[in-house]
Amino acid sequence: MKTRWRSVVVAVLAVAGVWLFAGSVPPAQAQAEIVLTVENNRFQPEEVKVKAGDPFVLVITNRDKAPEEFESHDLRIEKVIPAGKTVRVKVPALKPGVYRFVGEYHEQTAKGRIVAE
């Protein structure tokens, strides 16, 4: 009985592992790139417009000396951007609407929105 349980657990973990990695690697095909910069604990620009229904890539560069975390509850994205680094964030196709984001480490100043239309 114990071995059956063990094989069930192993199987579940294997499936979970595959699911976890699948899609984590960015796709090769070209997608629209939206450039964001973090500077002085603010996003630049603070509002970006994207086409609804098309996935895109946020290219976020942190020019500050401190790490920042791009966070959007609306998009379910959390992404740390170390000081001086650039991170590419894949964003799935969005329905028309406004999606807010903040820099979690400097929430008072670092905020912006993505407008999908």
Cis status of the peptide bond prior to 45, with omega within 30 of 0: yes
Q: Is residue 80 part of the contact set for another protein (CB under 8 A)? A: yes
What are the angstrom distances between the C-alpha of 70 and each of 3, 4, 7, 28, 42? Answer: 44, 43, 39, 23, 11
Least CB distance from residue 80 to another protein, whole Å?
Answer: 6
Q: Is residue 4 part of the contact set for another protein (CB under 8 A)? A: no
Least CB distance from residue 44 to another protein, whole Å?
Answer: 18
Per DSSP, the three-state class of 15 is helix
The interface with another protein within residues 83-102 (CB under 8 A) comprises 83, 85, 87-95, 102
Query: Using CA of residue 87, residue 81, residue 90, residue 23, what is the dihedral sign?
Result: positive
Least CB distance from residue 49 to another protein, whole Å?
Answer: 19
Contact 32, 51 (CB under 8 A): yes
User: Which parts of this chain interact with another protein (CB under 8 A)?
Assistant: 1, 16, 19-26, 55, 65-69, 72-80, 82-83, 85, 87-95, 102, 104-105, 107-108
